[in-house]
Structure 1
């Protein structure tokens, strides 16, 4: 009886001969078409680990300079384990998803505490913070050249098209099908090089839109191509509904220094330093006087000192997951810098010292506005507020990265 499932049909076609021919075709293509990346041809598991964590939800182009700077500062696992969290976050600043950086440091400390020998199996790697099945498989195959299946964005798309898999590949059932296929694909000979070839093919040929099927070395094995369904496979990811929100930064100044605090666990950008930031009622922001009064009250409640908001400096627009945020930046003054009541770690910092602290992208952008506004040159000058305001009014709305 003919199976009613195209995937079952395809998996029934997969035998040792099919796998051998596909592997040969892919390896032959990869010799002249593999990507030249800084972390390639490297068997150091520490470097492979760093690269794989950085590449999670981040483009190769964005990762390259961060990878090189990170290794220069933390060349080995002992150096990373001994580092202050703030130093690690400062080097990560701008790359986003900061829990990755904190987990790298925690993972390094766990490895050092267990003798400093990098785990060489998927089973030993999985308990480390921030390491899932894909990352563990990538480290094992790339660094130790041991067979381990991989499944990430590029290979997910490639596998779906090879199999003609039309269901949701991110569902539990879809993941079972694709991981099973990945286990069949990976060879015992040079599995690291083969896994890299799979990823390179997905990244450069089997692309999300308009795949280059005429250039694909495994086109004859592709069920999606045979069915002319490349544009429909894999099934599109459901996009979350966008929520518009309004927030406010307040740069509180006292004697030429600004109040910053370290964001606690459970908040966005935990562990980074930031200016006081508050959610606003979108409807209430139409009335500036009401907004100022609300922010002055929140600062007194959440941080302690009574402040006077003097100017709106700028407006940023950025996105975090499903939230599209309009962020107003305000300048405030206080003489009560010793009256802090918050339990969060806080500092009064001169603009010339901002570079010593890790900020979120928007926090760094506000810090740079304050520096460019004349705070460094005139830290106690009463003209400073005018310098800041005139500087930012020339370009008051920007769109930073989240």
Structure 2
């Protein structure tokens, strides 16, 4: 391996097979790179592509984002999940606007902003500003763990530090931004988590995991604990084609998005006090988060025109159609409610 250059082999492959047409691959707009990096955290490119252009069209500059309210931003992130990312992005943008409206130019300035860690700051230096930067996302960890047959538990800080040292030693100063994109692309398209395409990998002959038949075993994976199941009820209060929706608080789960009223079993008394008419029908949906699965029982209740104002006032909501709610921004779980409800002809929706 002494005559083999990891970075050069990767760059040669990238020139022919890398991704060069992603909408955030621009040399003069670090803001776009910033938005993309936050969206891409724990989210695949194909999913981000559905949201990125719409978000940028509405908030084309950091000033536009920083001067908007969270209630204006939330609908443009609705359905993408991990909403703390969006809140931190918005918070950081407001800080930039207050700080002379100039984007950070150094690693230290980037990492000082909310929601930006070491790897994201490195990506913004490299991809956003075309300066030197080192990244350590899931793709990079996987490529390096396999290439060097690293069998350590990379979730432990001592091994994480060693991976950073290794990544830094391999990262070139010349064509740094291409190298950064290349190693991510290799992990995303060839050195994939499952069934890696070793036949097409430029590193195959020198990859220790491939030589030892360990490519499907690395990186080391902890046995996942089963996620808990939580139960709650959803009130689908309807009056003809209108449903009662409310905007959730700006902080917490689904902050700023619109939702049907949700309550867990211990606080049902609060809704019994509303003197709801009888439940006409129910159906269930399941929605998974990172740390738990939500089993939701949707209770369908028809409200008379005379009762509409009373329930809107008591719940603090607004009578709008599901389509109008979707335009304002609703979480994926509420999209599932709409889709499932439309399958039930007896609901009359």
Question: Which TM-score applies when normalising by structure 2?
Answer: 0.88
Number of the residue aligned with 2:88: 103
2:208 maps to 1:239: no
Confirm or deny: 8 A CA contact 1:369 1:388 kept in the other structure: no
Return the offset for 1:369. 6.7
Which runs of no fewer than 5 residues in structure 2 stay unpaired? none
Larger relative contact order (Cα-Cα within 8 Å, sequence gap ≥ 6): 2
Number of the residue aligned with 1:309: 278
1:146-185 correspondence to structure 2 within 5 Å: 146-185=131-170
2:7 maps to 1:23: yes
* 3-state SS in 2 of match to 1:309: coil
CA distance in 2: counterparts of 1:366 and 1:109, whole angstroms:
34
* 3-state SS in 1 of match to 2:317: strand
Confirm or deny: 8 A CA contact 1:306 1:336 kept in the other structure: no
Deviations 1:174-211 (A, max 9, x none): 21111111111111112111111111111122122222
| Distance change >3 Å, CA 32–CA 256, structure 1 → 2 | closer
Number of the residue aligned with 2:175: 190
Number of the residue aligned with 1:221: 206
2:320 maps to 1:350: yes
Match of 1:366 among 314, 337, 345: 337
Match of 2:28 among 4, 18, 43: 43
Number of the residue aligned with 2:185: 200
Match of 2:69 among 72, 84, 92: 84
Return the offset for 1:154. 0.7
2:247 maps to 1:262: yes
CA distance in 1: counterparts of 2:43 and 2:37, whole angstroms:
10
Match of 2:16 among 20, 32, 40: 32
| Distance change >3 Å, CA 368–CA 224, structure 1 → 2 | closer
Confirm or deny: 8 A CA contact 2:149 2:208 kept in the other structure: yes
Q: Relative to structure 2, which stretch is displaced further, 231-240 or 53-62? A: 231-240
Q: Give RMSD over aligned pairs.
A: 2.8
Which runs of no fewer than 5 residues in structure 1 stay unpaired? 1-12, 282-293, 374-385, 392-402
Confirm or deny: 8 A CA contact 2:312 2:319 kept in the other structure: no
If you compute each CA radius of gyration, which structure gives the higher value, 1 or 2? 1
CA distance in 1: counterparts of 2:83 and 2:59, whole angstroms:
17
Confirm or deny: 8 A CA contact 2:285 2:295 kept in the other structure: yes
Deviations 1:247-293 (A, max 9, x none): 21002357985443333366421222211112248xxxxxxxxxxxx
Deviations 1:42-67 (A, max 9, x none): 33110000111111111111111211
| Distance change >3 Å, CA 61–CA 340, structure 1 → 2 | closer
Question: How many residue pairs were aligned?
Answer: 344
Confirm or deny: 8 A CA contact 1:93 1:360 kept in the other structure: yes
